[in-house]
Amino acid sequence: MSDPAQVLKDFKPTKEFFIGIDSDGCIFDSMEIKHKECFVPMFIKHFNLQAVSKYARETWEFVNLYSKTRGANRFPALSRALNLLRERPEVIARGVKIPDTKALDEWIARESKLGNATLAAEVKNGNTGLAQVKAWSDAVNACIDDIVHGVPPFPCVRESLEKISQKADSMVISQTPTPALEREWAEHGLRNFVKIIAGQEMGTKTEHLKFAADDKYVPTKILMIGDAPGDYKAAKANHALFYPITPGREEQSWKRFQDEALDRFFAGTYAGDYEAKLVKEFDASLPEKPTWQV
């Protein structure tokens, strides 16, 4: 079986700078519609959470939109949501049985490329404990294909990508399945701005950055743009810089990027106090614990 990440490992710089860019919730205002209209209904349906649908929705949205795990790969996010939901007093009081995550957690622990292809192979090879997870994930993808269209990039994104392309190699670094990313970037005429689109099949965001940019560019000339703590962690694991698109302040974040942050990055004045101030503001926007535990 060929390595889906080989294209990243083989990538050769054409410019002095490198910029990795997340997609959902960062380039496109698609996080809310994907999670609220596709992930949540399929979460309730496939894990039989109808009797606690209100709490299932609240828990899913906390894990995936409104907390430090925003933007996580769907499979660890599923595990976290089920385990948080199981401990909720309201769920216990109703006597609703929440499926255990044993098979899922074991697979997450040993599989580096958490995607639909590796999941399908696992189920095909007899791992029946993941059949329900596969049915849910397939249903989510079908729902996204059906519902999520015509969600444009945030204001200032196109202008920023044009400005980036003059001096930097750029690449999509995401935990969304690659076919969905290819479709969305093509739909809005953005595909030509990036060299490669790397989705969940090519590994984690940390691996994407490592394979594509580490040891190929000077660390202060590598930047990751993202809207989730996982994007920040991927940047720092590779000694790269990070620019946050702060949830709830996406328009202002992109305007600031276009007007000043990108110029600072190219000029070598981004690292240090300027980056630290932006990261602090970003970190404060996403809580660690859910409101029902505080």
Instruction: Check whether residue 37 and residue 26 sit in a common domain.
Output: no
In a domain, 229, yes or no: yes
* Cβ-proximal residues to 22 (8 Å cutoff; 6+ apart), any chain: 71, 172, 173, 174, 205, 224, 225, 226, 227, 228, 231, 245
pLDDT digits (tens, 9 = 90+) for 280-290: 999 999 999 99
Mean pLDDT computed over every residue of the chain: 95
The pTM of the full predicted model, rounded to 2 decimals, is: 0.87
**Tell me, what's the pLDDT at 1?**
59
In a domain, 1, yes or no: no
**Boundary (domain end) residue, out of 147, 162, 194:** 147
pLDDT digits (tens, 9 = 90+) for 184-194: 999 999 999 99
**Boundary (domain end) residue, out of 147, 177, 200:** 147
Confidence grade of residue 113 (pLDDT, cut at 50, 70, 90): confident
Q: What would the mean pLDDT of 61-84 be, rounded to a whole number?
A: 95
For residue 294, pLDDT beyond 90: no
Please tell me the distance from the alpha carbon of residue 77 to that of residue 121, in angstroms, as a whole number.
20
Instruction: Check whether residue 113 and residue 170 sit in a common domain.
Output: no
**Tell me, what's the pLDDT at 68?**
94
Q: What would the mean pLDDT of 181-206 be, rounded to a whole number?
A: 95
Instruction: Check whether residue 275 and residue 158 sit in a common domain.
Output: yes
Instruction: Check whether residue 180 and residue 243 sit in a common domain.
Output: yes
Q: What would the mean pLDDT of 219-225 be, rounded to a whole number?
A: 97
In a domain, 291, yes or no: no
Instruction: Check whether residue 136 and residue 35 sit in a common domain.
Output: yes
**Boundary (domain end) residue, out of 130, 147, 164:** 147
Q: Containing domain of residue 58, as a range?
A: 31-147
Instruction: Check whether residue 201 and residue 134 sit in a common domain.
Output: no
Residue 188: alpha-carbon gap to chain centroid: 19
